[in-house]
Every structure is written in C-alpha cells, then in structure tokens.
Chain A
Amino acid sequence: MKKKVIGLIDGQSGNIGSINKAIKDIIKGRPYQLKIIKSHFNYKSFDKIILPGQGAYATLMSNLKKLKIIQPLKKYLENNSSYLGICVGMQILSDWGYEEKTTRGLGIISGDIKKFINKKLIIPHMGWNTVNLKKDDTIIANSFDKKDFYFVHSYIFQNIKKSDVLAFTLYGQKFPSIVKKGNIYGVQFHPEKSHKHGLNLIKNYILKS
C-alpha cells in the first residue's frame, strides 16, 4: 500500500518541534510518511501540507520566498490540495498582511490580516479561548464546538467572506479562528500547544481529511 505523504513546511518562523512530534505520534504504525519541506518542492508529491508559523506575516512570506517555497505552495493550494495552516501559516492564505509592513499574501482566501481594532485590549491575545463553530465540518472541527484552544497573536483575518469562516472566537470582537475553503484549512490558534483537543484536531486533519 502506498503511503500518504505529509509535508511539514519549516518556514523558519518559530519552532516546528512540537508539531513535528505531534504528527510523528499520530502516524506511527499508520500508512503515512512525514517529510520536512525546507526548499523548493514538487507539489504533486504531497498528499497533505502543514505550515505552522509564529511571528510576523512579512517575515514568514520573505522566508518562504528565500527558500523558494512560495511558487510550489501556491500551485499546490490553487489545486485545492489538502492544507492546514497554523497561526501565521493560516494568515498568509489571505490577500494582504498589514503587520510591520504591507505584504502580499498567497491570495487563496480573500481578506486581509489586520490588527485587533479595540485599543483597550491587552495585546497580544494570549491564552486559552473558545472556538465557536458556525458550520458543520465532519472532517476536523465538529467535536470542538465551545472547546478552548491556545492563542497567541495580535492580528486577525478581516474582510473575509462569511462562507470561508468555519469558526469564530471572541476577544473584544468576533474574529475567525478556523477558516476553510475547499480542502484548505487554517486555524488561528496553536493546536500543537492546545493539549488533547489540539492533538485531536491535528489527528482529525491527518486521518480524516
């Protein structure tokens, strides 16, 4: 039986250690293999790609550019192939990011990444907060309605189409915490840091999608 190939992109934007370990634990004894993507890759040779990211939008985009990952990743996503973007790995699916400087994103899910509007908020939004499902999603999200996940971010997805928002979270305002378009998922929180619900979400993504 041919093994499914999972690509984990190391965009040099934070530590991939915990997500790497989570994936390895999940696929142990199952017909999957994990490859770390650090440079240009053949987008046809992956069944799933996960991109975790921390830090700034502009930094991640420029790292991916330097590593020659942008072009194959765009092709992969335009093909509606299976993807899970975490935090900034979700944000760069948008058209534009406004963190530090205006940066063009991958343009897969229309919208912009802008700072929380409410000036009185403690920023970054750091800690555990609740995910509220807006729609059914039998693949990854259904069992996580009203569950808490770990967030750390100052920027949120704005001007996004309602149909691309799978779940929202409240922090001074409603903001999208899970986005979905076709086979492409993005989560604003860090499932790899969100204890059992987080690990189950990654598990669902890998095994069910």
Chain B
Amino acid sequence: MLKTRIIPCLDVIKNKVVKGVNFKNIRVMGNAVEMAKYYSLSGADELCMLDINASYQNRKTFIKTVESIAKVINIPLTVGGGVSDLSDITDLLNAGADKVSINSAAVRNPKLIRQASLRHGSQCIVVAIDGKRHKDKMKVVIKGGREITKNELIAWAKKVQSLGAGEILMTSMDTDGVQNGFDSNMLKKVTSNVSIPVIASGGVGSLEHFYLGHLTKSTGLLAASVFHSRKYKIKTVKKYLSSKGVPVRL
C-alpha cells in the first residue's frame, strides 16, 4: 500500500534555514545541511527546500547548499523558490534536486510547465500553488499572497495537470503560518479535481492536523515549524498517524 508522505520543508536563505512571517522578523533555525541530514535520518519520506530570498548573490550559495544536501541524504529532494526559466530548472536538477518546484513563473508563463516536463519528465516537475479566498472565490496568489492573480484556483490546478505537472504543492495562504491546521476545504476541492498527487502545505500545528490533512486525500503532508521547533519528531507524527490507521513508512 502506498504510504502517506511526511515532508519537512526548509525555508532557506543561502545556507541557513529560517523562519519569518512575510519576510519580517526572520529567525535562523539552523544550518540547512545539518537539518536536512537529521530529517533524512529520522524518517522523513522526502525533503523540500525553498530559496525564499533568491537574489543573484544568494543564489550561488543556495545552489551549493542544494549540492551539499543532495550528497548527504538518500531520500527524494524537491527544490523551489526563485525558479524563473528552464535553465534554473536544469541548474537545480544538476545540483542534485530530484524535483523542482515552480510557482509564480508558471503563473506568468504556463508554457514553462509543458517545456520543463517534456525536457525532464513530469515526475520531476512540481507546480507550487498558493491559494487564497478573495470575494467568495478561491484564487491563485503570488508574491507570498500579496498579489491576487486572475486565475481561479481549481481551473489553474486542472491546467497545470494538463500541462504536464507531476505533482501539486498546495499551500493555502489563508492558513499558512497560523498553525491552526491545513485548509481542508481548499485541499479537498483540489484533490477531487486532479488526478496527480497533491502535497498539503500550510498550517500544521498539532498531530491531529496531520490526520485531517490525510483525510483531504493529499498524499504528502508538508510541515515546517512543528519539526524545526522540535515540537514533534517525524517518528512521533508517523506513530500517531499509524495508530489512526493511516499507512506510513515506519
């Protein structure tokens, strides 16, 4: 039976894992390579890392960090943040990423999804979608939720699938960072409208939230703070899910 994946997410600047709400009060949580190694050893099913400040200068260090991480883990690695064209995707795959996540570049230029999946295969192209409710509709947002696009969420999710995305990383900006749980309603809408895997992201604060995330039919559950703060170990989450009858890799 296919297991539900538990995926720690590292928000990275250069080589440091950071935490900050909307780029304010950024706190360093640790060294990215050390943390990646720790999660790989302690039972993470995959690892996600995002360059949250992809400026030209920071980028070189970030790519080196991807290379170092790829060398010390042997679970799949998804890398995103600041991916704007095909050459960025190639650079990250060459650095050792297994999957590359595209977000606003896909919104600006949806053809990029098709080009990337034709060149590298759908299995390594993840489209990250940030969703937010706006005037009773679910919309796609970019720039950390500050810019609402014209795309309706469900139509966009279907479109990225048809363009060749292998997976959707779905973050609700309505629940992200608040630790009140995943956006079950938004996630269910997405999972029931696409047939590719969906990773739930945004809002985990308790063990039960992971279980509720599983109930949305998301096959991957992503979390950051609860792991970085050592509130939960990955094993703790998996044992809990297993006790609720959710298939996990123990």
List residues 80-120 of chain B with CB under 8 A from any CB of chain A: 93-94, 96-98, 120
Contacts of B4 in A (CB 8 A): 127
Q: Are B196 and A122 in contact (CB under 8 A)?
A: yes
Nearest-neighbor residue (CB-CB) of B194 within chain A: A122
Given A122-B197, A124-B122, A126-B166, also A195-B74 (CB < 8 A): yes
Pick out which of these stretches binds chain B: A103-111, A146-154, A159-167, A180-188.
Answer: A146-154
**10 interchain pairs (CB within 8 A)?**
A15-B93, A15-B96, A17-B70, A55-B123, A56-B121, A122-B195, A123-B195, A124-B123, A127-B2, A193-B75
Residue A170 lies at the interface, judged by CB distance under 8 Å to chain B: yes
Kindly state whether residue A141 has any CB partner on chain B within 8 Å: no
List of A residues within 8 angstroms of B249 by Cβ: 128, 148
CB-defined contacts of A198 to chain B, threshold 8 Å: 74
Residues of B with C-beta under 8 A to A27: none
Q: Is the CB of B96 within 8 A of A127?
A: no
Task: Say if the beta carbon of A54 comes within 8 Å of chain B.
Answer: yes
Closest residue of chain A to B250, judged by CB?
A: A148
A127 to B94, CA, bound (A): 22
* B197–A126 CB distance below 8 A: yes
Q: Which of B96, B120, B219 contacts A126 (CB 8 A)?
A: B219
Report A-chain residues with C-beta under 8 Å of the C-beta of B75: 150, 193-195
Say what secondary structure dominates the interface of chain B.
loop
Contact A128 B70 (CB under 8 A): no
Chain B residues lying within 8 Å of A112, measured Cβ to Cβ, are none
Residue of B nearest to A191 (CB): B74
* Contact of B123 with A15 in the complex, beta carbons under 8 Å: no
B167: which A residues are within 8 A, CB to CB? 124, 126
Interface centre among B2, B5, B93, B197 (most CB of A within 10 A): B2
Instruction: Report whether B74 and A199 are in contact in the complex, using a CB–CB cutoff of 8 Å.
Output: yes
Q: Does A129 contact B (CB under 8 A)?
A: yes
Q: A55-B120, A152-B123 are in contact. Are A18 and B70 (CB under 8 A)?
A: yes
Q: Could you mark each residue 188-209 of chain A with 1 if its beta carbon is under 8 Å from any beta carbon of chain B, else 0?
A: 0010111110110000000000
B189 within 8 A of A: no
Interface residues of B (CB under 8 A from A): 1-5, 40, 45, 70-71, 74-76, 93-94, 96-98, 120-124, 166-167, 195-197, 219-220, 249
Chain B nearest CB: distance from A100 CB in Å?
Answer: 10
A194 in contact with B74 (CB, 8 Å): yes
Closest 6 CB pairs of A and B: A55-B121, A128-B3, A128-B249, A148-B249, A152-B123, A126-B197
On chain B, the residues within 8 Å of A171 by CB distance are: 2
Whether a CB of chain B sits under 8 angstroms from the CB of A140 is: no
Interface of A is mostly: mixed
Determine if A18 and B74 form an interchain contact, defined as CB atoms under 8 angstroms apart: yes
Nearest CB on B from A98, distance (A): 16
* Nearest CB of chain B from residue A32's CB, rounded to whole Å: 20
Question: Which B residue's beta carbon lies closest to that of A194?
Answer: B74
Q: Report B-chain residues with C-beta under 8 Å of the C-beta of A15.
A: 93-94, 96-98
A1-57 at interface with B (beta carbon < 8 Å): 13-15, 17-18, 21-22, 54-56
Q: Find out whether the CB atom of B71 lies under 8 angstroms from the CB atom of A21.
A: yes
Is the CB–CB distance between B2 and A128 below 8 Å? yes
A123 to B2, CA, bound (A): 12
Docked complex: A83-112 residues within 8 A CB-CB of B: none
User: A54 to B93, alpha carbons, bound, how many Å?
Assistant: 12
Q: A18-B96, A128-B45 are in contact. Are A153 and B74 (CB under 8 A)?
A: no
Q: How many angstroms from the CA of A171 to the CA of B197 in the assembled complex?
A: 14
Question: Given A55-B121, A56-B121, A152-B123, does the pair A129, B219 have CB atoms closer than 8 Å?
Answer: no
Residue of B70, B75, B167, B219 with most chain A CB atoms under a 10 A cut-off:
B75
A21 vs B73: C-alpha distance when bound (angstroms)? 11
Contacts of A59 in B (CB 8 A): 121
Not counting A14-B93, A126-B166, A152-B76, a sample of 11 additional A-B residue pairs whose C-beta atoms are within 8 angstroms of each other reads A123-B196, A126-B219, A127-B5, A127-B219, A128-B5, A129-B2, A129-B3, A148-B249, A150-B76, A171-B2, A194-B75
